[in-house]
């Protein structure tokens, strides 16, 4: 592969988790609204997909303020997954996304297996006939506490992860919707959890969510965020997430991976793809600039052009060749 040969109009299409996307760059759940909020700034149809803020079966109020706080090279949040619920989302937010020409990935969450299954069931019921909407996949946010069995975060345990994924797949697979399991980086070894998710029917994994963190308000002598601890995101977490992608791809090269954490430039996206991700999501960077996801996409395209890469999929896993 010539590194200085310029390639005109590289093919930016990728296959990831049972879906063909025209571009590997998506938004990340919870960082660009529920629907077409970003359409005022970017052409959503140019992105690989828009991933909506996580939805639960019913409405949920989330955590008390303050909910976000700037940290060195990132931010910490304890938004607490507030959302209007699947049915209200279908009524209010899906149409604007379809009018904007976006491919949509719906993110779901719950606090018990039953709540995850119910959210998936309501989605299937609301979407109607398979293939009749812009929804191309469902990303299941497994990083939620299991309130029913009080066994901690679902995504920290392979059996609980498998349970959530299987419950969602049972509802969504008949309608042809692939399920991506969005896993937590706050574990010692991701591979058994990836295996559990894939064994339960996931079509791919999203790696990963925020890192657990805490900021103290030293004047008030208490945790700064209303929810106590929070999740760290942004460039500060990128090397952690890139390593997770690299290690999962090294040990499970056939598992489709979506990489997320601190992507703010095209070069960051290249890093994830070379580590083994087939697509990337842009989260925190969108708070600084709502155009961030399309800027990343444009810079990635330019990188391919200037590095003689005719198809972006050529570089997936390239860092493993050495
Ligand atoms: C304010 C905020 C809200 C988030 N809400 C969600 C959410 O609803 N569901 C989810 O799966 N991830 C959520 N995330 C995690 C992001 O999707 C992403 O995994 C994480 O922030 C790392 O990517 P980034 O560094 O590009 O932000 C949220 C992150 C932030 C900063």
| Tens digits of residue pLDDT in 73-97 | 999 999 989 999 999 999 999 999 9
* The pLDDT of residue 127 is above 80: yes
- pLDDT interval class at 265 (50, 70, 90): very high
- The residue that leads in pLDDT, 21 or 322, is 21
Centre of ligand 1 to C-alpha 68, Å, is 11
Index of the ligand 1 atom closest to the CA of residue 234: 25
Index of the ligand 1 atom closest to the CA of residue 51: 17
Which residue is closest in CA terms to ligand 1's atom 22?
A: 261
> Each residue of 13-40: pLDDT tens digit?
999 999 999 999 999 999 999 989 999 9
> Each residue of 266-318: pLDDT tens digit?
999 999 999 999 999 999 999 999 999 999 999 999 999 999 999 999 999 99
d(CA 65, CA 133): 35
pLDDT of residue 4: 57
Centre of ligand 1 to C-alpha 53, Å, is 8
pLDDT of residue 2: 44
* The pLDDT of residue 1 is above 50: no
Mean pLDDT value of segment 198-222: 97
Centre of ligand 1 to C-alpha 1, Å, is 35
Index of the ligand 1 atom closest to the CA of residue 77: 1
pTM, full prediction: 0.97
Element (H, E) at 116: helix 113-127
Question: Among 181, 176, 153, which Cα is nearest to 165's?
Answer: 181
Supply the mean pLDDT for the chain.
95
- pLDDT interval class at 3 (50, 70, 90): low
From edge to edge, which strands make up the β-sheet containing 25-27? 25-27, 279-282, 257-260, 204-207, 179-183, 135-141, 104-108, 50-51
Index of the ligand 1 atom closest to the CA of residue 285: 26
> Each residue of 165-206: pLDDT tens digit?
999 999 999 999 999 999 999 999 999 999 999 999 999 999
d(CA 15, CA 45): 17
Spell out where 64-166 has E strands: 68-71, 74-77, 104-108, 135-141
Question: To the nearest whole percent, how much of the chain has pLDDT over 90?
Answer: 91
Q: Establish whether 168 is a catalytic residue.
A: no
Which residue is closest in CA terms to ligand 1's atom 28?
A: 30
Q: Which of 138, 144, 273, 274 is catalytic?
A: 144
Mean pLDDT value of segment 116-136: 92
- Ligand 1 site: residues with CB under 6 angstroms? 28-31, 53-54, 68, 75, 77, 79, 81, 107, 141, 182, 209-210, 233-234, 237, 260-263, 282-284
* The pLDDT of residue 5 is above 80: no
pLDDT of residue 137: 97
pLDDT of residue 302: 97
Residue 44: CB atoms within 10 Å:
26
Centre of ligand 1 to C-alpha 283, Å, is 6
Mean pLDDT value of segment 235-243: 98
Centre of ligand 1 to C-alpha 134, Å, is 22
Residue 322: CB atoms within 10 Å:
4
pLDDT of residue 19: 97
- The residue that leads in pLDDT, 51 or 144, is 51
Domains of the chain: 14-60+81-221+239-320 (3.20.20.70)
């Amino acid at each position: 592969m010539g590194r200085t040969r310029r390639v005109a109009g590289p093919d930016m299409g990728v296959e990831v988790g049972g879906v063909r996307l025209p571009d590997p760059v998506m938004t990340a759940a919870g960082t660009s609204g529920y629907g077409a909020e970003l359409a005022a700034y970017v052409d959503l149809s140019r992105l690989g997909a828009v991933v909506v803020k996580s939805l639960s079966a019913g409405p949920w109020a989330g955590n008390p303020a303050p909910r976000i706080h700037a940290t060195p090279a990132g931010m910490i949040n304890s938004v607490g997954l507030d959302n209007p619920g699947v049915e209200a989302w279908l009524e209010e937010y899906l149409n604007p996304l379809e009018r904007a020409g976006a491919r949509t990935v719906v993110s779901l969450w719950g606090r018990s297996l039953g709540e995850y299954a119910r959210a998936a069931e309501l989605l299937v019921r609301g979407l109607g006939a398979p293939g009749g909407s812009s929804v191309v996949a469902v990303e299941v946010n497994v990083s939620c506490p299991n309130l029913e069995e009080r066994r901690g975060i679902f995504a920290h345990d392979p059996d609980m992860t498998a349970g959530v994924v299987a419950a969602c797949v049972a509802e969504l697979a008949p309608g042809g919707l692939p399920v991506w399991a969005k896993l937590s980086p706050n574990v010692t070894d991701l591979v058994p959890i990836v295996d559990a998710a894939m064994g339960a029917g996931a079509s791919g994994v999203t790696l990963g969510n925020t890192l657990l963190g805490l900021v103290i308000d030293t004047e008030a002598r208490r945790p700064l965020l209303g929810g106590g601890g929070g999740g760290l995101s942004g460039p500060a977490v990128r090397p952690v997430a890139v390593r997770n992608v690299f290690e999962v791809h090294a040990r499970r090269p056939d598992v489709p991976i979506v990489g997320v954490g601190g992507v703010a430039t095209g070069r960051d996206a290249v890093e994830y793809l070379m580590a083994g991700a087939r697509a990337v999501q842009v989260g925190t960077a969108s708070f600084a600039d709502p155009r961030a996801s399309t800027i990343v996409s444009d810079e990635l395209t330019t990188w391919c052009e200037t590095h003689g890469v005719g198809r972006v999929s050529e570089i997936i896993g390239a860092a493993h060749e050495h």
